[in-house]
Structure 1
């Protein structure tokens, strides 16, 4: 998420200051294989232009409205402290009596803004300022509870939901005990039950690897967990799968351990070199990770044999759809060490066929007000299509993508964290839908704000 260094000039800023020439679509690729929905959902091309918000928080299309559920610095309803900063990845789970449990990451480091309060029985490392909070929302959209779900972790970026209704929160760091004041090693995945956090506690799932985790997706058929790594320096991150000893069933299954493997695409050391949508590779290989704990060497630097392993820059979002896992590369820049440049990719891996396919390529586009670069968190919209959190320069949007590949703005952040002369807006993160599909929840990273968006969803 926001832990990677920013480039000095983005594509959007360059286009704003020059005469863009050749126009092209913002997204290309095989969209129909990604989405599910009704014919009405497949046919629509957005909800119209964004209407400026008189309160200066969130612009939405006509007919939509938002409610602020939580803001950093406000008191937690539990009385445990203040709402932490840096709202990031998030997921919504069905609760009792029509209620929703919203589990939210906080990507905090040792120093910085408001850390997650330490709570006895829910704290891994007292020096870690990251973690998760859980909100309980009733059927009318009112927040009835807000509490710490896990504390003492570090740089909790994204993660993903499990089929048994827990959240896997991911640490995007490789810091060990003794680094930056930490008392324990970091770089793990932790399981969080938003309805009953004490059931899961603060136990690192060490067998799932120690690296700069970003996001996960679980195969609901066999419990295999796919993991992305957002490494900031070359060699860049890997795409992993975790084979649990006990395939399904909640905390016991993942804590029982398993095997961690990394993906090798034969003949492709760097995924950024692939530029053609539809490019497909069969016989994908999965190579055992020599040392999942990275005791002496980060995993991406370990010896995977003479044929090496496949890397990719800025591996971010990851989700399961149909019979496949999809994962996102937000961008690749050759001047930072990638094999080629792109503004974002979505890859599809089909486990039963051992096939990897490039299904979406992002950007460039010539309209600096519309999307086209740096996709980050992604979720499937309830009525068909995608919702994408933008993590580029300039104005920040939640973007919709229809099954036909048409891009439309769903929301635009209006909270200026810069100055009047040099405005800057916090990125969006954690987009997710309520179990009934009637509400879109989304975070503004800075200032930490959680929104609930309702309206005439198709």
Structure 2
């Protein structure tokens, strides 16, 4: 990037740098963290937060939690069983949690990020199969549980899909599951992959791709409050992935049964372009540093020429300088005013890192629907020692590699860490500190799919390997509210 453009980015709207609990990271200086009911950054009520207590080692060696918190294992890959008799599939990833059909219960719709012929793949159950050639592969299961973490049943919601990574809940109580792949038909596969599918908590089966949302290596998504826009992230490299927005046709609002209701070419899919002060387009988010915290940048959405990527991947259909790329666009979560999106990392060992970019271990962004601007709200600076030498297994003083994100019932964030060394679930206040609220003591597997029950009593989270669904209870509002 020319020096003149770098100076345009560096100038203006400075932000304070704060010290986060259990690690050093810049934070916004103009907000007081507290309950803000899912609104955007800078909208906090002036209520104090209480520092999250230190984590205590688990005598069972699975999950370190603070005093007053406890966990239950709901499902375990290859051990617990589906209602149909097969073993629970593995590689648990993204989750959505809804109020259950019976009082006091919850419904967890869960992804399984698996390729074909996995050891514990999602079984092909009649009516749920998208691609019969994707045997013992990815898909979703639907779990019924309660605040005690009891396993009250689990069934297959969709099967015959591939590498179901994250996704997003809908306002009408379904789950949109995302395939993180660009696999084409052939070599045993009967259909193309790389789509979004809708999964229902009530057992309805609709194994049809929502082609209007595009075919690429999807990560996660969120629907805006008007049900007219969907924001989708892409976890890909060679070149780096993009952040997309699907806009509905005039007069149309999303509702259940999207795949049956929308034509393949309905609406418009656009890729994000962040506009710099001189009118040029930021080529990659890795050019921005912590000095840009809380600074809003205008955004334009550039139409994707061929959303089904029949010849060329969607991200490769844009020349350099047309859109803004990012290493590992990951978690996405919507609020009434905007949507959070995470860039997991862009370290010196990352592929596709621009030569004059700034390495980082993570970025959390907030896109404002009304203003059509995006701002950096949390920044994890690159830690050479953590990534190159790998820190001790239970050192929770440095955070890196944020991945999935959810907004708590009180408006703060929860991030699942997928970095170097030990893995954590993090509580984070845009404009305030970040805390470790759980630590994996079993292995170095990533956490996935953090999601709160609607009543705020239970935090559900997955440990991808060996494939555990965990229900964590405790005084959440005291520390995250």
Instruction: Give the TM-score, by structure 1 length.
Output: 0.86
- 1:291 and 2:291 aligned: no
Task: Determine if contact 2:450/2:460 at 8 Å carries over to the other structure.
Answer: yes
Task: Determine if contact 1:106/1:157 at 8 Å carries over to the other structure.
Answer: yes
Equivalents in 1 of 2:23, 2:225: separation in Å? 37
- 1:93 and 2:98 aligned: yes
Equivalents in 2 of 1:223, 1:80: separation in Å? 40
Structure 1 partner of 2:272: 263
Structure 2 partner of 1:15: none
Question: Would the alpha carbon gap of residues 291 and 323 (structure 1) be closer, same or farther in structure 2, given more than 3 Å must change?
Answer: same
- 1:364 Cα deviation from its structure 2 partner: 4.9
Equivalents in 2 of 1:448, 1:78: separation in Å? 18
Equivalents in 2 of 1:208, 1:288: separation in Å? 12
Equivalents in 2 of 1:430, 1:189: separation in Å? 17
Structure 1 partner of 2:49: 43
Equivalents in 2 of 1:62, 1:39: separation in Å? 27
What does 1:103-122 align with in structure 2 at a 5 Å threshold? 103-122=109-128
Structure 1 partner of 2:27: 28
List runs of 5+ in structure 2 lacking aligned partners.
1-21, 34-39, 276-280, 386-390
Structure 1 partner of 2:362: 344
Structure 1 partner of 2:257: 251
What does 1:152-191 align with in structure 2 at a 5 Å threshold? 152-179=160-187, 181-191=188-198
Q: Which piece of structure 1 moves more, 82-91 or 350-359?
A: 350-359
Equivalents in 2 of 1:52, 1:226: separation in Å? 38
Task: Determine if contact 1:364/1:372 at 8 Å carries over to the other structure.
Answer: no
- Deviation per residue, 1:81-121 (Å, 9 max, x gap): 11111010101011232321101100001144311010111
Equivalents in 2 of 1:374, 1:352: separation in Å? 29
Task: Determine if contact 1:90/1:102 at 8 Å carries over to the other structure.
Answer: yes
Give the 3-state SS of the residue equivalent to 2:286 in structure 1.
Answer: helix
Equivalents in 2 of 1:337, 1:168: separation in Å? 29
- 1:450 and 2:449 aligned: no
Task: Determine if contact 1:36/1:385 at 8 Å carries over to the other structure.
Answer: no
Task: Determine if contact 1:150/1:197 at 8 Å carries over to the other structure.
Answer: no
Give the 3-state SS of the residue equivalent to 2:152 in structure 1.
Answer: strand
Structure 1 partner of 2:332: 318
1:150 equivalent among 158, 165, 177: 158
Task: Determine if contact 1:76/1:82 at 8 Å carries over to the other structure.
Answer: yes
- Deviation per residue, 1:168-219 (Å, 9 max, x gap): 000000010015x322100000011123242xx2010011100000000110
Give the 3-state SS of the residue equivalent to 1:28 in structure 2.
Answer: coil
Equivalents in 2 of 1:35, 1:448: separation in Å? 37
2:76 equivalent among 71, 85, 88: 71
CA RMSD of aligned residues (A): 2.3
Question: Would the alpha carbon gap of residues 405 and 148 (structure 1) be closer, same or farther in structure 2, given more than 3 Å must change?
Answer: same
Task: Determine if contact 1:45/1:407 at 8 Å carries over to the other structure.
Answer: no
- 1:374 and 2:383 aligned: no
Equivalents in 2 of 1:131, 1:35: separation in Å? 38
- 1:397 and 2:402 aligned: no
Equivalents in 1 of 2:449, 2:331: separation in Å? 10
List runs of 5+ in structure 1 lacking aligned partners.
1-22, 417-424
